[in-house]
Structure 1
Amino acid sequence: MNTSIVIADDHPLMLRGLTDFLTSKGFNIIGSAEDGNTAYNLIVKLKPEIAILDIRMPHKTGLEIAEDCKKNNLPTKIILITFDKEEALFDQAKAFNVYGYILKEFAVEEIEICIKHILKNKPYFSEEIASYLNQNSNTKSEKLELLTKTEMKIIKLISNGNLSNDIADELSISVRTVEKHRSNILAKLELENKPNSLSIWANINKHHL
C-alpha cells in the first residue's frame, strides 16, 4: 500500500506506536508531529491522503486542523483519535467532514480498519463511541418526552437562536411565561441553571428535537 499518511499526537508513545504499526502494515508515513501547528503545516506542504490527529494537542487541536482543512478545501481526509466521548466534540467532527473518529484505547485495533473504510470513501467511527452516543441519545429522548408541547416549541425556537422576547412574540405569551417555561425545561432536562446552558444544549442537540 502506498497510502500517504501524516500522524500527529503529543504523546510520544502513541505517536511511535501508531507509526510503527502502520509502517509494518505497508502504509507510507510521510510525516509526524507532536503539536497541531506542525501537523497542519505538514498537511498543507505534503498533502497526504490521510491525517491521523490527536483531538487535543498544543497550539492547534485536531478539530481546529479539521476545520482549517475544510475551509481551505484541502483534500486530506482526517481521522481523529481521542479519549473523549463528548457528543459535542463528535458533532463538531462531523461538521468539519472528519472521516474517522476513534477512541484511543482501541486505536491500534481499529486504525487499519478505519483507513480501509476511508480509502473506499466510507466514514468510520469506533463501535464504542457509536454505542455510547446511541445510549446517550436514548437518554435524551426519554428526557424530551417529559416536556409539554409548549416546552418543545420553546426549545426548538431556542435551538434556532431565538431569544425570550422573540419566543414570546412567536407564541403570543409574555416574556415572564417564557422564562418560567425555560426554568421548567432546565429542571426536566437536568441542566444547570447557568446563563446560556439551555441555548448551548439546544444547539448541540438540535438534531434530536
Structure 2
Amino acid sequence: MKLLIADDHPIFRKGLKDIVLNSFPNAEITECDSGNITLESIRSIQPDVAILDIDMPEMNGLEICQKIYSENIPTKVIILTMYKEEEMFNKAFLTGASGYVVKDNSVIEIVDCIKEVMLGKKFIGQSLQSAFNKYREADKKKEKIQDLLSTLTQAELKTLKLVSQNRSSKEISELLFVSVKTVENYRSRICKKLELDARNNSLLLWVSENRELLSTIREF
C-alpha cells in the first residue's frame, strides 16, 4: 500500500508516520511539507491514500483534494485538521474527501480511517458523527432529487431551469417558442414528477432550495 502524509510540522508528521507503520509495516510512505509538492507527488505517485493537513503553505488540503477529484486521480483523501466546525467538514466531503479526522483524535482514529477508506467507505471521527449524519441525510436527499430530475423530458428540464432564473410563464413561452398554456402544462408535469403540490408556490420554493444543483444541469 502506498501512502502520502502531508503536514508542514515535521514532528507531527513523523509521529503520524510511526503510527501508520506500526499497523501497516509494509506501507510505502511519502512525506510532504507544502501544498505544491504534495499535489505534484500525488500526481506522479498516485498513492492509495493521501493524508492531508488542511492548513499548509502554498495550497491547503481542500484545494489539493479538489484538484485530485477534478483530475480523476484515484487516490483516497483523508483530511487532517484542527477544525471541528460543520461547515469545514461539509466542504471537505464536497471536494471529494473520503475521511475527516480531527488532529486531537488522530492517534486513535487514523488507522481505522485508513482501513475504512481503503474499503471505499467514508470515515468521520467520533467527535463529528452528528455532523456526518446530517451530511449523509443531505447526500441521500440530493441523490433522490437527481433521480427525480432524470425523469423529466428535455422540454421540462429547460422549463425548470428557466423557472429557477425567475422567468415568468410568458417569458418561458417566448424563449421556448411554445404557448403559455404549454408552459403551464410543463410546470404541472414537473411538479408531479418532483412530488410537489402544483396548487401553491411549492415549485418556486423547490427551485430556490435547489438552485445550485440546477445550475449543474447541462443545457440541451
TM-score (norm 2): 0.59
- Give the root-mean-square deviation of aligned CA atoms: 2.8
- How high is the sequence identity, in percent, across the aligned residues? 35
Name the amino acid aligned to 1:126. G
SS in 1 for 2:100: strand
User: Against the structure 1 CA distance between its residues 24 and 134, is the aligned structure 2 distance closer, same or farther, given a 3 Å change threshold?
Assistant: closer
Say if 1:4 and 1:27, in contact at 8 Å, map to a contact too.
no
Where do 5+ consecutive residues of structure 2 fail to align? 135-164, 169-208, 214-220
Per-residue deviation, 1:48: 0.3
Counterparts of 1:90 and 1:30, CA distance in 2: 26
- CA apart distance, 1:29: 3.3
Residues 9-48 of structure 1: pairs in structure 2 closer than 5 A: 9-25=7-23, 26-48=25-47
Q: Structure 1: any 5+ residue segments left out of the alignment?
A: 136-165, 170-201
Residue-by-residue CA offset, 1:102-160 (whole Å, 9 max, x unaligned): 0001101101101111111111000102246779xxxxxxxxxxxxxxxxxxxxxxxxx
Higher-Rg member (1/2):
2
Number of residues paired by the alignment? 146
SS of the aligned residue for 2:3 comes to strand
**Partner letter of residue 89 of structure 2?**
F
Pairing 1:105-116 to 2, within 5 Å after superposition: 105-116=104-115
SS of structure 1 residue aligned to 2:51? strand
Q: Secondary structure at the match of 1:97?
A: coil
Q: Within 5 Å, give how 1:65-84 maps onto structure 2.
A: 65-84=64-83
Separation of aligned partners in 2, 1:131 and 1:83: 17
**Partner residue of 1:4?**
2
Per-residue CA deviation, residues 33-73 of structure 1 (Å, 9 max, x unaligned), is 11111111110010100000001111010000000001111
With normalisation by structure 1, the TM-score equals: 0.62
Partners of 2:108 and 2:75 lie apart in 1 by 22
